[in-house]
Amino acid sequence: HIHPYYGVFSPIRGEYLELIASAPLPKPCETAWDIGTGTGVISALLARRGVAHITATDTDARALSCAQENIQRLGLTTKITLHNANLFPEAENPVDLIVCNPPWLPAKPSSPVERAVFDEHGSMLKGFLTGVAQHLTPHGQAWLIISDLAEHLGLRAPDGIPNLITQNNLTLIHRHDIRPQHSKAFDPKDPLHIARAKEVTSLWCLRKR
């Protein structure tokens, strides 16, 4: 079980976790980075899937404390190491898998907790795709988990993510999609119902060209 701290994004929408739990891992997959770990839930999933060494990063002190507590309670401290880092940790050796679930909406947050939902100018998304290729092993993969709600709201161009992938020496291996399962997606009274009804959450499996 994952326990969130106040002010740390809680994974109340489980569909993206289903994608991470079921997508085929690169072979071999001994090392991984979890970028923007939050509660540590992605690192925990990767550890439970058999990844031996995971480095999890975040810049929020509360998130790092929260992740540390969860990792200790789950008995995963020998597999997961936490680092205070903006995106990628300082490390010389490339890794087999790098996972990032950035905030889904490219808008300005009005409070610290909203930074988990709003990514002003899409800076985390762009930073991840710009830098990830140089940190991958030859067979390594980068997993980007993101919803297309921003596209349906007109906040990101339909070809925005594919263009970023192409521009940054990456190629798409496969895209795993899942429909939202939360109640708002089925509530016609929700002000964003039209967009939410079309929303798809995707895990983009990428490798460097």
- What does the pLDDT profile of the chain (209 residues) look like in tens digits? 766 555 555 555 678 899 999 999 999 999 999 999 989 999 999 999 999 999 999 998 888 999 999 999 999 999 999 999 999 998 779 999 999 999 877 777 666 666 667 777 889 999 999 999 999 999 999 999 999 989 998 989 999 999 999 999 999 999 999 977 655 555 666 656 566 677 899 999 999 99
Amino acid at 57: T
At residue 202, the 3 state secondary structure works out as strand
List the alpha helices (DSSP H) in 81-143.
Answer: 123-131
Rg of the chain (C-alpha set) = 16
Q: Residue 82, class by beta-carbon neighbours within 10 Å (0-12 exposed, 13-18 middle, 19+ buried)?
A: buried
Asked if 191 and 139 count as a contact pair (C-beta separation under 8 A), the reply is no
Pairing of strands 95-100, 136-147: parallel
Tokens 């999933």 found at: 45
Asked if 133 and 142 count as a contact pair (C-beta separation under 8 A), the reply is yes
Question: Is 0.95 surpassed by the pTM of this model?
Answer: no
